[in-house]
Structure 1
Amino acid sequence: MITMDDIVREGHPSLREKTREVPVPPSEEDIQLLNDMLDFIKNSQNEEIAGEYNLRAGVGLAAPQLGINKRMCAVHFEDLKGKLYSYGLINPKIISHSVEQAYLSSGEGCLSVDRDVEGYVPRNARVTVKAFGIDGNEIKLRLRGYAAIVVQHEIDHLDGVMFYDHINQENPFAIPDNSKPIG
């Protein structure tokens, strides 16, 4: 079972590396890792389990956050309308995106960042992502709003990018051009 002790924090080199593609179909080891990552996210959202194991609640986890150089991430959350998104993604790639931007009005956080980072993180309001699922089959996700933001955050991890890299350093609360707030 993955716990907070397994998650690397800011400053760890794996958080700044561009990850390697995972061979498809995935190995048993990669399938197990992705299932464990998904289980961690689900456990972190369960008050009883999170309390017992001292887990911080999260909606996504990328392999580099475990110090593993592989293009894999897991997400598990409901959007603002209550639609469930629960995926283990192998080699996810944004194949198209909107010109319109969006940002979380409360800002973003990260399981690898133990401090509050103030500011708006501009992201594409809509993205289409191609990836392989845990079963090795190709999937295509059309995401908007909160779901698009979460998946972009995780894909950034696979490219060595942290959420705060996107924040305007001069004015962290500057409203990004052509954008709308989410949440």
Structure 2
Amino acid sequence: MKKSILICFLLCATSFFAQEKMVTKTGKVNFEASVPSFEEVKAKNEGVTFILNSKTGEVASLALMKGFRFKIALMEEHFNENYIESHKYPKATFKGKIEDFDATTLTATAKEYTIKGKLELHGKTKEVASVAKIRKTDAGIEIISSFSVNASDFDISIPNVVKNKVSNKIDIRSEFTVK
């Protein structure tokens, strides 16, 4: 009898704590490092994992570098081999927290929140902050954010041959719907 009660309690506790973690494995991250008058330097990854702890506002994200797709295959090859060196640095991660987050107050109308945390890319870690629009949808909680980083902050060097065609400033946009 005591074993049955213990098992029931553990199952209930597990399901209670599991509801705090909301996840997607189909998040979208786009980046652009284009310079006007030159070929667009833009890619997207639609297989990004994102976790939200709905009680604390803590977030974590993982993007595989080889998951980024470009319009031009040669750009994708250069991105993976020469810039990101995805054989040495296969992923980018972000760990942070949504400030003043309260999931119980979310509605269908997006509200702006600040997300602060650490972005690890190309073997370097940098503090970043972003304004995110967060709202409740039928599919879950939607989080859309944009921010910029410099390639040089992550020791990503742009060869002199293309320095005027690729921006050091990289604009990043992410979209996640967690459930």
Greater Rg over alpha carbons, structure: 2
Name the structure with the higher helix share: 1
Q: Which has the higher contact order (CA 8 A, sep 6+)?
A: 1
TM class, shorter-length? under 0.3
Q: TM-score, normalised by structure 2?
A: 0.25
